Structure 1
């Protein structure tokens, strides 16, 4: 085979590779968008249910003069909201890890783009390295991101909302059981803070455990490439 034929075959192979990579990239973008829309809908449903439950408790409390069936109704309804909140939080946590997977996958694709056409590297705002530093740059390519994206994330939002719900539930259960109101709300506040701390700890443990077990295929210059072993 002549050199011209080999060069032509190489160009055709690169063109097909770029086409396949672009198709996969669009598939990842669509999946990421769908997943994020779904979890935002779940959060909206939780907030709607929580608002409706609080209004229902207030109306039933006024109708029953906060006696009779009111304690059972309030405890059961708040318990249901707490369960839905925990399930929503589980989904939000799962989606955060799925989103990390999408970002890693797209960074890998960009690494292939750079391999096929090295000059495109200077035009990329996001990273083409699938290590932790590369993910950080892709999520926040304007510089050091600090902790503001973490504190402002949907995951932290659900932690705070569910912490408040758990604290409210504990306080209401104790108060409707005849416990002193001050003691009930002290337990409620402690439960809310404890729930928030435990949720953050579990999420951080999941995140760091992932990175300890993960081996990048296109790391940055500061890390050695994976040997596959």
Structure 2
């Protein structure tokens, strides 16, 4: 047996202290409340961002209409309208990026709280029958937590989301900007309208594909420790 320089025997490694179930429950509850507070703060922040964006967009489009009437839709009006629409598109894209990030953060909080509920059930298995929110930290568990009663299709969840709302508004703004630029360049109005509609569709589809890939990437990264029993 090796000895320390002073000749004394090495001390055995310290054992980890045993934690009572009550202390474990308190630690889990503290973490649960922290996640709830963070989720609430994040949701409030993104809703404020969306409201600010819509207020800015509606005010800017109203100013475009007023300037158009005042200038009799002259060349100066076209320059003004293109500038305002460009700013609207930029602000909308920045807001959309934040909304997409928050939607994934919200999913992260749901997964984390589901995992904590699994720890509660481990402490007291009898709690499981009283939980409507899931205690499984996989994709099926997250869907149950988002909608306790089940039976809701993924389409309705996506169609009613803030992300879909932002994608639709930004696609419309981008189509308006594209149509205005093409019209200012001398393109006939029917052709400008068709190309603007194509810009709308291209942006909408691209954003949906990008969002779907980021959502699927969450489940590639997440490794459930309490998956749903099938």
Q: TM-score, normalised by structure 2?
A: 0.89
Q: Please report the RMSD computed on the Cα atoms of aligned residues, expressed in angstroms.
A: 1.3
1:187 match: secondary structure: helix
1:208 to 216, 220, 225: 216
Matched residue, 2:174? 166
Q: Distance in 1 between matches of 2:122 and 2:201?
A: 49
Matched residue, 1:137? 144
2:35 to 28, 45, 58: 28
1:156 aligns with 2:183: no
Q: Distance in 1 between matches of 2:218 and 2:30?
A: 27
Q: Distance in 2 between matches of 1:35 and 1:166?
A: 27
Q: Distance in 2 between matches of 1:93 and 1:111?
A: 28
1:69 aligns with 2:69: no
Equivalent residue runs for 1:65-144 within 5 Å = 65-144=72-151
1:69 match: secondary structure: helix
Q: CA deviation at 1:68?
A: 3.2
Q: Distance in 1 between matches of 2:75 and 2:199?
A: 27
- Larger Cα-atom Rg: 2
1:187 aligns with 2:199: no
2:75 match: secondary structure: coil
1:51 aligns with 2:51: no
Matched residue, 1:177? 185
Q: Distance in 2 between matches of 1:133 and 1:19?
A: 27
Matched residue, 2:10? none
Q: How many residues align?
A: 213
Q: Distance in 2 between matches of 1:72 and 1:24?
A: 54
Please list the CA deviations of residues 23-72 of structure 1 after superposition, one character each: whole Å capped at 9, or x if unmatched: 11011001001101111111111111110111111111111111131111
Q: CA deviation at 1:213?
A: 2.9
Which consecutive aligned stretches of 4+ in structure 1 deviate over 6 angstroms post-superposition?
none
Q: CA deviation at 1:174?
A: 1.1
1:184 match: secondary structure: helix
